[in-house]
Structure 1
Amino acid sequence: MVQFDPQFKLPSSNELACSDDTPVDNENQNFIPNFLLFLLEFVWPTRQDWFWGVDMAIYHTTGASPFVPVVPDGFLSLSVEKRKQGGSRASYVVWEEGNVVPALTLEVVSRTPGGEYQEKMATYARLGVLYYVIYNPDFWQRDAHQPLEIYRLIEGEYQLQLSEPFWMPEIGLGIGRAITETGGLKREVLSWFNPQGARYLTPEEQLKRYQEPFGDAF
């Protein structure tokens, strides 16, 4: 276990970089986390006690140095301000968030392996992230894993969960794969699900469903 010196003066968010500046090498790494973010805005329209970060550095004290972040493709924290002090975050600094760690982290596997099944998994377990989601639709055979793997932290170790969509009671959401149409294009995405296993629809899908019974009336 990494030993952290409590006498060390922790840096402020103003002293820390917002990400590791590693470029993505496939569209899913940007699209999937942002799709989940925008959908969550409609699932929780009035809640102000959550934050979803996309490609944002998480600074913590469980690694070799508080100056070295871990940068998931997406993450969800609960019981924090959605807009920190009414503004935006450049990074997620655990010691400035009341020591609230993300409840869920998401990695979308790219052409260049990024340690999703090794180093990052160990980092998130050490940090105490309850759910770790690895989405690997393109390179899962190369990596000898499944296209979607959802892990739950149990006694300090991640255990693979088998159901999909998978319900996460601590978060109040399910997560799984779905085919949706956005901007006239059908594609597989990760999506949020309700307790009954029904997928939350995007505003575009809701509008289309509303219009269908009226035929040419619209």
Structure 2
Amino acid sequence: MISKLLLQNLPSTADLPCSDDTPVDNEDQNLLPNLLLLSLIYLWSARMDWYFGVDMAVYHTTGVSPKVPVVPDGFLSLGVERKKGGKSRRSYATWEENEVVPIFVLEMVSHRPGGEYDEKLQLYAELGVLYYLIYNPEFWQRDRHQPFELYKLENGVYQLQIGEPYWMPEVGLGIGRYRGMVGGLSQEILTWFDAAGDRELSPEERERQRTEQERQAKEQERLAKEQERQAKEQERLAKEQAQQRVERLEEMLRSQGIDPDRLLDAVDSGD
């Protein structure tokens, strides 16, 4: 716990840089975390107790100085306000968030190795980040690692987890890879999964699914009406055919000199 005296001497996020001003060296470092964020905005639209930051400085008191942040490509914190005091955050300082550290952190390996497998791994472990994902789709062979490595903090040490997508019960989400269309282009992206291992659909996919379900429902309704019409038509034809048989029978009887009406009257009277 941070003492009140130390807390009084810590800087405010209003006075701290929002990032380390280090430019990303590929567009996916901004794109993929933002896709995760947009998906969460849709999935958790009714929840106000989470925050997902993209390329945002995270200030903490476990490093050399509370003024020296770590800047993940993406991070998720639970139990905090979506909007800090109703306003957008410039940065994330643990001492202003009731000491809530991110529960999930994403680092994407770029052309220049950034210590994802050693320095940052140790830093996030000391910070107490429960899940640490290193995504390295291009340079994993260079770095002698796998493209997708998810670590879980167990007894203060990160342990590489097996399985993908990987379900994170403490988060209530799974994380994994998926090849989909982004802006008309096919590419591998990171996305959320449910407990059954099914991919959470994007808002656009859910809208297309809803539209398709409505179309199918209307088609089923049309088919049901058509079947009802056909059944009524068959019933009409059956009655018509039965009437025609009766008329032919009457004509045959009359041709034999028998009055059908008198015959029916005799049958009715039991004679």
What TM-score do the two structures reach when normalised by structure 2?
0.75
Give secondary structure in 2 for the equivalent of 1:89.
Answer: coil
Q: Tell me which amino acid in the other structure corresponds to 2:204.
A: E
Give secondary structure in 2 for the equivalent of 1:126.
Answer: helix
Q: Equivalent residue for 2:156?
A: 156
Q: Equivalent residue for 1:20?
A: 20
Q: Tell me which amino acid in the other structure corresponds to 1:80.
A: V
Structure 2 distance, partners of 1:7, 1:146, is 45
The yes-or-no answer on 1:86 pairing with 2:86 is yes
Structure 2 distance, partners of 1:169, 1:197, is 12
Unaligned runs of 5+ in 2: 219-271
Cα deviation 1:13-48 (Å, max 9, x = unaligned): 122111000000011101110000001111111100
Shift of 1:128: 0.2
Give secondary structure in 2 for the equivalent of 1:159.
Answer: strand
Q: Equivalent residue for 1:208?
A: 208
Instruction: Say if 1:5 and 1:65 are closer, same or farther in 2 by CA, change over 3 A.
Output: farther
Aligned runs of 1:30-49 on 2, under 5 Å? 30-49=30-49
Give secondary structure in 2 for the equivalent of 1:192.
Answer: strand
What TM-score do the two structures reach when normalised by structure 1?
0.93
Give secondary structure in 1 for the equivalent of 2:113.
Answer: coil
Aligned runs of 1:175-194 on 2, under 5 Å? 175-194=175-194
Structure 2 distance, partners of 1:19, 1:141, is 29
Q: Tell me which amino acid in the other structure corresponds to 2:36.
A: L
Cα deviation 1:145-186 (Å, max 9, x = unaligned): 000000000000000001100000000000000112122222
Q: Is the 8 A contact 1:181 1:205 kept in 2?
A: no
Q: Equivalent residue for 2:99?
A: 99
Corresponding pairs, count: 213
Percent of pairs with identical residues: 60
Shift of 1:210: 4.0
Structure 2 distance, partners of 1:7, 1:85, is 23
Q: Is the 8 A contact 1:182 1:204 kept in 2?
A: no
Shift of 1:206: 2.1
Structure 2 distance, partners of 1:207, 1:82, is 25
Aligned runs of 1:164-179 on 2, under 5 Å? 164-179=164-179
Give secondary structure in 1 for the equivalent of 2:85.
Answer: helix
**As a proportion of its length, which structure holds more strand?**
1
Give secondary structure in 1 for the equivalent of 2:200.
Answer: coil
Q: Equivalent residue for 1:199?
A: 199
Unaligned runs of 5+ in 1: none
Give secondary structure in 2 for the equivalent of 1:85.
Answer: coil
Q: Equivalent residue for 1:10?
A: 10
Q: Which has the larger displacement, 147-156 or 181-190?
A: 181-190
Structure 1 distance, partners of 2:3, 2:47, is 36
TM-align CA RMSD: 1.8
Instruction: Say if 1:101 and 1:143 are closer, same or farther in 2 by CA, change over 3 A.
Output: same
Shift of 1:207: 2.9
Structure 1 distance, partners of 2:199, 2:165, is 9
